[in-house]
Structure 1
Amino acid sequence: MPRITKEEKARNRQNIVEAAGRMFRAQGIDAVGIADLMKEAGLTHGGFYNHFASKDDLAVEVCNASFAASLGVLAQAVADGDAPAGSPLRRVVDDYLSTEHRDAPDGGCPSASLVIDAGRHDETIQRSYAAGVEGYLTGFAAELAREHDGEPDGGLGPQEARAEAVLLLSRMVGAMVLARAVRHVEPDLSDEILRTCRAHALD
C-alpha cells in the first residue's frame, strides 16, 4: 500500500478538523462518534489516531481554529474601519445576531455553539475556549476605547472598556443561545430576542 505524502496527511487532518467543527457545533462534542466523524471527513475510522490521540485533543484544535477564524472576522472589521453600515462593532453585532448565524449552528462563531461543551469538558478544552473568549474581550475593549476616544467626558478608560466588552460579549452569546433554543417552537420569540439584542447590545 503506497504511503501518503506529507501534503496528503496535512489535508486529511484539515478535513477531520473541518468536519469536526461542523459536527461539534451542531450536535455537541459528546454526541459525535469517531466513526461518523471520519465518514463525514471522507476517511476511514482507523485513520483517526494517526492524527489525534483522542477526541478531546481534536476538540481543542477545533476550538482553537474556530475562534481564530472568528477573531479574524473581528480583526478585519476593525481594519475596515467605519463604513456606511456602521462602526466595526455595529457590523460585528449585526452579523453575529443575525438569523443567518442563528440558523447555521454548524458554522459561525464557537462562542455560542460550544459554550455548553466547554463547561462540561476538561480543563484543556476550557482553556482553549477561555483563550477565545479572552481574544474577543481584548478586541472588543480596544475597539470600544477607540470608538469613545475624544468624547467630552474623556471616553473609556481600560477598566471601563473591559467591563463594556464583557457585557457586550455576554449579551451576544446569551442572545444567540436563547434564540437557537426556541427557534423551532417559537420562531417569533427567537426573532424578537435577536432583534432586541441587536438594537441594545451596544447601549
Structure 2
Amino acid sequence: MMIVMQKDKSIKPVAKAKAPQLRATQARKEVTHERILEVAARAIRRSGYDGTGVADIMKEAGLTHGGFYAHFASREALLAEAADRARAEALGWTAQVFEAAPKGQGLQALMQAYLSDEHMNGVERGCAVSAVGSEMHRQAPEVRHVATQHIQQLIDIVAKQIPEGGDRGAHDEAMVRISAMVGTVVLARAVDDPALAKSLREAALKYFAPVGE
C-alpha cells in the first residue's frame, strides 16, 4: 500500500532571506566593535586608564553612549580588550623592527626605535607599558592580566635576539634591556626639559651599545 503525503499548507517555509541579513548585521557589529577597541586603545595610552571614560570613547568612535553595552559587559571588559589590542600592536611593531634590522643588529635597532623622538612623542600609538605602566597595579584583575602577558611576551621576543653565552642569560638580559627602555621613556616623558629628555635616551643607547662602538 502506498501512502501519499500531502503538503500541509498551514506550515510556512523558513524565510531563507534572513540569513544574509543576519550575517550583514553581525559583520557591521564586528566592524563597530573593532572601531571602539581602536579608539579605546589609543585613548588609554593617551589619557591613561583613569582618564579614559566610556562616554568619551563612544563619542570619539562616532557612536552613542547607549550602544556601549551591546559590545561590552562593563568598562573593565572594554579596558581589558583595549589593552590586549595595544599589546598586539606593540608586539607586532617590535617584530617588524627586528625583521627590518640587519642580521645581528636587532637589539640595537629596537632600542634606537623605542628611544626615538617618534616613539617618545607618539604616546597614543606607542608601547602601552611605558605609557600607562605606573597605573596598571590599580586596575581590575583582567586588565592586569593582559599587562602581565604583554610584558612576558616582550621579554620572550627580545630574549630570542640575544646570543647565549654572555655574562647574563638571555632571559635576564632581555629583562634588563626592557626595564631600561621603558624606564628611560617614562623619565624622558616626565621631565619638562627637552635637553634632559634627549640626554636620558642617549645615555641609555650609549650604555647598551655594542662593545667597540
- TM-score band w.r.t. shorter chain: 0.7 to 0.9
Q: Distance in 2 between matches of 1:116 and 1:94?
A: 23
* Letter of the 1:195 counterpart: E
The gaps in structure 1 that reach 5 residues or longer are 150-154
Contact 1:168 1:202 in 2 (8 A): no
- Residue 186 of structure 1 corresponds to which residue in structure 2? 193
1:137 aligns with 2:144: no
- Residue 196 of structure 1 corresponds to which residue in structure 2? 203
TM-superposed deviation, 1:7 = 1.5
TM-superposed deviation, 1:156 = 3.9
Compute the TM-score of the two structures, normalised by the length of structure 1.
0.85
Percent of aligned positions that are identical: 33
* Letter of the 1:199 counterpart: K
* Letter of the 2:134 counterpart: I
Contact 1:16 1:38 in 2 (8 A): yes
Q: How does 1:13-162 map to 2 (within 5 A)?
A: 13-80=33-100, 82=102, 87-145=105-163, 155-156=165-166, 160-162=169-171
Query: In terms of Rg, which structure is larger?
Result: 2
Tell me: CA distance 1:103–1:80, structure 2 relative to 1, closer, same or farther (3 Å). closer
Q: Distance in 2 between matches of 1:46 and 1:130?
A: 32
TM-superposed deviation, 1:138 = 0.6
TM-superposed deviation, 1:82 = 2.0
Contact 1:172 1:201 in 2 (8 A): no
**Count of paired positions:** 189
Pairing partner for 1:167 from 170, 176, 187: 176
What are the Cα deviations for residues 21-68 of structure 1, in whole angstroms up to 9, with x where unaligned? 111111111112211110111111111111111121111111212111
TM-superposed deviation, 1:6 = 1.3
What are the Cα deviations for residues 83-138 of structure 1, in whole angstroms up to 9, with x where unaligned? 5xx71111111111011111111111111112022121122111110101000111
Q: Distance in 2 between matches of 1:56 and 1:199?
A: 40
Q: Distance in 2 between matches of 1:186 and 1:31?
A: 25
Compute the TM-score of the two structures, normalised by the length of structure 2.
0.81
Q: Distance in 1 between matches of 2:118 and 2:97?
A: 18
Q: Distance in 1 between matches of 2:56 and 2:101?
A: 42
